Amino acid sequence: MKTNVFFLVVVMIVTSSNIFAQSVCSNEPYKNFGVEMNAGVSFPTSKMAYAKLNTGLGGEILLHYNFMPHLGLYGGWGWNQLSADESFAGKEIDFEETGYIMGLEWKHPLGCTPLSYYVRGAALYNHLEVENNPQGDIIGDTGHGWGYQLAAGLNIPLGKNFHLTPGVKFNSLKRDLNFDSNVRALRQNYISLRVGILYEF
């Protein structure tokens, strides 16, 4: 966990020094639209109703609309799964978070290099499903509710329209679950290391 926090701090320090820098490079026209797919590992930062969560996996499909050279909207659908060996719902339980993302992205070049960095902030409209493993039966569903996402990373050109987008994300969602005649307060907070492919047009 300390390594992940250190990595995030280093990225923010390196990139923030360029936010107000005057670029001496030629201004190339920016593309208005983009489609991104990303995936990676997730590290829980809190327990799920007193249950210790294991490292999980997640991914997103995002659409981008850049209405200014450095500022744009992004939105789409995301999925993340964290598991617990033991929990209020039994042994070998999966907590799957799925739902929708809508937010703002700030993107800026790193000097005159082909690299750029991005900083994102978004609202989540997600729900949590509780599944028993390995059967995969859904034994609980919180219904959709609001959470938030913060993210930062790099944009690495792979050609004319394709980019690699490694980064760090933090997601937070709090939902109540009626389970076995009791109301459980579920909190799913996690840091994700993601790598994505972005196609701009």
> In this structure, which CATH number among 3.40.50.410, 2.40.160.20, 3.40.50.1970, 1.10.1200.10 belongs to the domain 2-12+32-200?
2.40.160.20
Smallest Cα–Cα separation from 57: which of 92, 95, 105?
Answer: 95
**3-state SS, residue 3:** helix
Structural domain boundaries in the chain: 2-12+32-200
Q: Which pLDDT band, with edges at 50, 70 and 90, does 159 fall under?
A: confident
Say what the pTM is: 0.83
Distance CA(140)–CA(129), nearest Å, equals: 6
Residue 27 has pLDDT above 80, yes or no: no
**3-state SS, residue 10:** helix
Whether the bond into 134 is cis, omega within 30 of 0: yes
Q: What pLDDT digit, counting tens, does each position of 80-122 carry?
A: 999 999 999 999 999 999 999 999 999 999 988 999 999 999 9
Q: What pLDDT digit, counting tens, does each position of 51-85 carry?
A: 999 999 999 999 999 999 999 999 999 999 999 99
